[in-house]
Amino acid sequence: MTPAEKPLDQPRHITPEEEADYRSGDATVEWLLRQPGSFFRPYAGKWIAARDCQIVAVADNHRALMAQIEPADWPRTLIHRVERPGRVIYR
Amino acid sequence: MTFTKPWIAFPQDPDTKVPVLDVFLRTREGQKTREFFVVDSGADVSMATRSLCDVLGLRWDAGTEVELRGIVPREECRLMARLHPVEIYVRDADRRFTIPICFADSDDAPLLLGREGFFDAFGIYFDKKNLLTRFDW
């Protein structure tokens, strides 16, 4: 990696509105991480959107999922691709 | 400085979990989107979908051309991708930085945080016993 390609660590510039969105989303992140495998079973192979600790949209791919969500809601919405059953090696 | 992140469950088995991190990316409208990425030390570079490339307002064709191949070296397993530098924000560390992301020509590619750039920014320890990832910086 050349110096120009090194990660550029920058100071944050977060507005109060952004902070409110982040905090709202934090709870949803923690909620989704607490869910057992059985919770994700109906969504295997799908893309899901979670907001306010509930699933708000499901689609077959990222584009179709994003089309279901109002852009204004994106910062508070968590996007997740649920894997299909089986062992996964990303190559 | 350090933070830890629990792994997320796979659908088939409650004991199978995968390391993830939620990352913010700035969209073409100036909004942000928050997406779970798999933290993948085996990936040379981070990966995302072509749809996400569009959401970020990046012109897919303008990126550096990359060819992705599967384990089986068949032509039908070949997938074109484009590499773009992308600014990400990691809320848990309150850090934003730019990493290269390879956008596959597919809207169903896994979102991966690979070594180039991301693993330069953090020391990453996979705690399989406790199903946690620790990020140091």
In this complex, is the C-beta atom of A58 within 8 Å of any C-beta atom belonging to chain B? no
pTM for the model stands at 0.91
Torsion (CA) B101, B106, B108, B109 in degrees, nearest 10: -40
Contacts of B43 in chain A (CB under 8 A): 90
**Tokens 């039908």 -> residue:** B76
Q: What is the pLDDT of residues A44-85, one digit of tens each?
A: 999 999 999 999 999 999 999 999 999 999 999 999 999 987
ipTM computed for the complex: 0.93
% pLDDT > 70, chain B: 93
User: Residue A8's pLDDT is what?
Assistant: 53
Residue spans per domain, chain B = 23-123
The secondary structure of chain B as a DSSP string is: -EEEEEPEEPSS-TT-EE-EEEEEEE-TTS-EEEEEEEE-TT-SSEEE-HHHHHHTT--GGGSEEEEE--SS--GGG-EEEEEEEEEEEEGGGTEEEEEEEEEESSSSPPPEE-IIIIIHH-EEEEETTTTEEEEE-
Q: What is the pLDDT of residues B22-79, one digit of tens each?
A: 999 999 988 899 999 999 999 999 999 999 999 999 999 999 999 887 666 677 667 8
- Answer whether B12 sits within 8 Å of A44, measured CB to CB: yes
Name the class of domain B23-123: mainly beta
In this complex, is the C-beta atom of A57 within 8 Å of any C-beta atom belonging to chain B? no
